[in-house]
C-alpha cells in the first residue's frame, strides 16, 4: 500500500483573485467554500493569511471556522504572516496587533504553525532578531503552536547558515524554519544542503515550481509567475525525495502565486494543485490517477442513482401490466 502524504493548500494557492501586498489580500471566495473544495481535492491542510483571517472573522467566529475545518477533515493549519515583530515604533505596534490575532487563532484551531519573517532586508542586528524570535516562540508555546521563520531571498535570513544561527540562538524547541522550494531555488541553495539541516529546525516544507532565471524582478516573479509542480525547472520530485530521506514527515504545503491561475475556478484550482503536487511523491502517481477517475465518475453515479430512484414508483405497476397482457393472450 502506498504511503499517505498530507498536503496543505497554502493560502495564496487557493485565494483566487486576492492580490498580494495590496489592500485586497483577502480572498473573494468564502472560507467554507475554500475548505470544502480543498478537502474534495484531497488536501488535509490549508493555509490562512492574516488579512483573510481578519476579513473572515467579520462574519464567522474562530469556533465556527474550526468547526468547518473539522467537518471537512482539515487537520493541518498554517497561519501567516507575521512580520516586523523584531522592529520598533509603529511597525512593531501594528505587528503586535496581528500577532495577537494569529496566536489566538492558532490556539483555537490547533494550528500546526505560524509563519513569520520579513519581506525586506533591514538594519536590525542579528542578535536583536534572534532575541525577538525567541520571545515570539515562547509566546507561541503558550498558545500551543510552532513558529517558523520563512527563509527568503528578500529578507535578512537568506541562507541555511543564517537560518540555523537564528533557530539555534533562539533556543526554543517550537521555533524553526519554513522551507519554500521557490525561495531555495532562487537563492541557488543546493537541495542536498537544505536536506542536511538539523531536522528539528525544520517547521514546514512547501513545494512548487518555476524558472531558474527571469527577465522581470524577483518580486514580480514570486507574486505572479510561480508554477505548479512539474511545470518548471526546479525538479520538485528530487527535492521531495531528499527531504523524505532526511526524515521530514510533516505536512507539505503547495504555494503557487500565478496571475493566470487566479482567474481559474476554485474547483479547477484545487484539483490541479493537488494532482500536480501529489505526483511528486513516491508511489503516488497511480493514487492520483485513481482519484481523478473516481472524481470523474461521481456525476454519472449520481445520475444513475437518481434515475433508479425515479423508476421505483413505476416498478409497483409492472405486475398489473403483465396481468393485463396475460388476459389479452387468453
240-269 pLDDT, tens digit per residue, is 999 999 999 999 999 999 999 999 999 999
Task: Provide the percentage of residues in the chain whose pLDDT is more than 90.
Answer: 84
State residue 70's pLDDT score: 98
Between residues 106 and 302, the one the model is more confident about: 106
> How many whole angstroms separate alpha carbon 63 and alpha carbon 268?
29
> How many whole angstroms separate alpha carbon 204 and alpha carbon 179?
6
Which of these ranges, 47-56, 114-123, 235-244, 278-287, has the smallest mean pLDDT? 278-287
Query: Shortest CA distance to 35 belongs to which of 66, 1, 81, 79?
Result: 66
State residue 287's pLDDT score: 60
Domain positions in the chain: 7-283, 296-329
Cell numbers representing residue 57 in the block: 472573522
188-231 pLDDT, tens digit per residue, is 999 999 999 999 999 999 999 999 999 999 999 999 999 999 99
Sequence-distant (6+) residues with CB within 8 A of 63 are 108
State residue 1's pLDDT score: 52
Neighbours of 134 (CB within 10 A): 17
CATH architecture group of domain 7-283? Alpha-Beta Barrel (3.20)
State residue 319's pLDDT score: 39
State residue 3's pLDDT score: 81
Q: What is the mean pLDDT of the chain?
A: 89
16-63 pLDDT, tens digit per residue, is 999 999 999 999 999 999 999 999 999 999 999 999 999 999 999 999
State residue 306's pLDDT score: 39
State residue 300's pLDDT score: 38
State residue 286's pLDDT score: 65
Amino acid at each position: 500500500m502506498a504511503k499517505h502524504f498530507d498536503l496543505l493548500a497554502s493560502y495564496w494557492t487557493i485565494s483566487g483573485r486576492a492580490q498580494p501586498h495590496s489592500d485586497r489580500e483577502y480572498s473573494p471566495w468564502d472560507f467554507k467554500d475554500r475548505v470544502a473544495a480543498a478537502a474534495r481535492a484531497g488536501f488535509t491542510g490549508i493555509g490562512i493569511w492574516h488579512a483573510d483571517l481578519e476579513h473572515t472573522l467579520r462574519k464567522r467566529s474562530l469556533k465556527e471556522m474550526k468547526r468547518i475545518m473539522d467537518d471537512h477533515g482539515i487537520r493541518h493549519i498554517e497561519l501567516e504572516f507575521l512580520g516586523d515583530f523584531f522592529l520598533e515604533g509603529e511597525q512593531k505596534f501594528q505587528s503586535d496587533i496581528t500577532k495577537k490575532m494569529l496566536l489566538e487563532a492558532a490556539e483555537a484551531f490547533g494550528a500546526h504553525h505560524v509563519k513569520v519573517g520579513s519581506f525586506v532586508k533591514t538594519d536590525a542586528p542579528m542578535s536583536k532578531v534572534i532575541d525577538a524570535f525567541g520571545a515570539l516562540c515562547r509566546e507561541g508555546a503558550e498558545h500551543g503552536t510552532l513558529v517558523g521563520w520563512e527563509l527568503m531571498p528578500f529578507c535578512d535570513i537568506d541562507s541555511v547558515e543564517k537560518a540555523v544561527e537564528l533557530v539555534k540562538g533562539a533556543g526554543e524547541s517550537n521555533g524553526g524554519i519554513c522551507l519554500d522550494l521557490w525561495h531555495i531555488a532562487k537563492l541557488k541553495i543546493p537541495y542536498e544542503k537544505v536536506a542536511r539541516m538539523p531536522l528539528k529546525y525544520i517547521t514546514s516544507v512547501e513545494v512548487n515550481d518555476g524558472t531558474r532565471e527571469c527577465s522581470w524582478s524577483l518580486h514580480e516573479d514570486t507574486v505572479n509567475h510561480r508554477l505548479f509542480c512539474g511545470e518548471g525547472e526546479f525538479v520538485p520530485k528530487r527535492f521531495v525525495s531528499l527531504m523524505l530521506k532526511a526524515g521530514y514527515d510533516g505536512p507539505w504545503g503547495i504555494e503557487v502565486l500565478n496571475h493566470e491561475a487566479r482567474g481559474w475556478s476554485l474547483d479547477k484550482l484545487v484539483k490541479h494543485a493537488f494532482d500536480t503536487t501529489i505526483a511528486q511523491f513516491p508511489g503516488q502517481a497511480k493514487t492520483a490517477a485513481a482519484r481523478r477517475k473516481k472524481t470523474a465518475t461521481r456525476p454519472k453515479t449520481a445520475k444513475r442513482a437518481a434515475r433508479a430512484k425515479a423508476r421505483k414508483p413505476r416498478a409497483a405497476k409492472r405486475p398489473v401490466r403483465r396481468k393485463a397482457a396475460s388476459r389479452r393472450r387468453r
